[in-house]
Amino acid sequence: MPFNRAPNVKVIELRDDYINFELTDTDISMANALRRIMMAETPILCIDLVEFEDNTTVLQDEFIAHRLGLIPLRATRDGGMAAWNYHFECDCDNYCQKCSATFTIDCDFNDIVSRLPMHQQEVAISITTRDLISLSDDVQPVHFSNTQEEDRSRDKGIVLVKLGPGQRLKLKAIAKKGIGKEHAKWNPVATVALKHDAVVTLNEDILDQYSEEQKEALVDCCPTQVFDYDENTKTVSVKNPSACIFCKECLFTTEDFRKNPEDKLAVQVKHSKEKFIFTVETTGALHAKEVVKDALAQLNAKIFRLQEILPELVA
């Protein structure tokens, strides 16, 4: 396991809901452990209990409760998610501010249309996350994952249900802390992609035997422009190995250029054993950098726990 004790993280691109970074000086077991922790063991808040007082919409209570559970909730309490108790560990009798957050919805079609222009009073009204009122100052629903999505959207937030004439929705919802292992709604990420970094090497002796047309064909066959051709020196070089998607087009092309089937290829593409590329997109419940930091902290805690109990296991 090369360099498995001193991993390094290099951020390539960072936005509120997106991060692309390199993990180096470690092996695939640690990289995959980090990926799984980001998906399944990084805690966030989600609605888990819904009490309906009135629901005359077209959707049944269970449908609306399910949609409410999937709404990302942003907690801004000092200390992050560590400042929240798990409900099963809290010392309260039922739910309290240390382990839960309360939301309400009270929307009546007739009441809403009375404040609208006449030409809009016959149109169904969308009930969105803007209508989900938080009773906790440090927890709010996330309406859009980023400002670009908000600018493109025609809605005011995430649509829960539409109200028609005479319909009403009134409910109380309680959110609590959890992890994706318990239920997928506590998954803070939309996707976590892990890719081996590519190690692309060129055999200069074989490339020197290629014609200019063959060298240009090798460069052009790559869909992600890993290679570069210098018109002045008539040489091929590896410009951006991290862009490689392991499509093997370069290998297929150089196979066609071989004079004999047993001849070596001009290009070799291998998976790096110590460098990995992560792409993380969040739901909005946590910023992307918070997901990575929390997952690294969880992984670190697991390693320390293993070190503590290891003497007992080998005894």
Q: What is the mean pLDDT of the chain?
A: 92
With tokens 């190690």, the residue in question is 199
Task: Report strand pairing: 125-128 vs 73-75.
Answer: unpaired
Q: Which of 188, 178, 181 is nearest to 283 (CA)?
A: 188
Mean pLDDT of 151-157: 89
Mean pLDDT of 125-150: 92
pLDDT confidence tier of residue 4, bands split at 50, 70 and 90: very low
pTM of the model: 0.85
Q: What is the dihedral of CA 84, 88, 94, 98, to 10 degrees?
A: -10
Number of neighbours of residue 41 by Cβ within 10 angstroms = 17
Task: Map residue 220 onto helix, strand or coil.
Answer: helix
Task: Report strand pairing: 139-141 vs 168-178.
Answer: unpaired
Q: What's the count of helices (H) and strands (E) in the chain, helices before strands?
A: 8, 14
Q: Are the C-beta atoms of 287 and 81 separated by less than 8 Å? A: no
Number of neighbours of residue 18 by Cβ within 10 angstroms = 16
Q: What is the dihedral of CA 140, 143, 145, 147, to 10 degrees?
A: -110
Tokens of 107: 């929307």
Give pLDDT tens digits for 219-255: 999 999 999 999 999 999 999 998 999 999 999 999 9
DSSP string, 233-251: TTEEEES-GGG-----HHH
Give pLDDT tens digits for 246-284: 999 999 999 999 988 888 999 999 999 999 999 999 999
The residues, ordered by sequence, that sit 6+ positions from 137 with a Cβ below 8 Å of its Cβ are none
What does the radius of gyration of the chain's CA atoms come to, in whole angstroms? 27
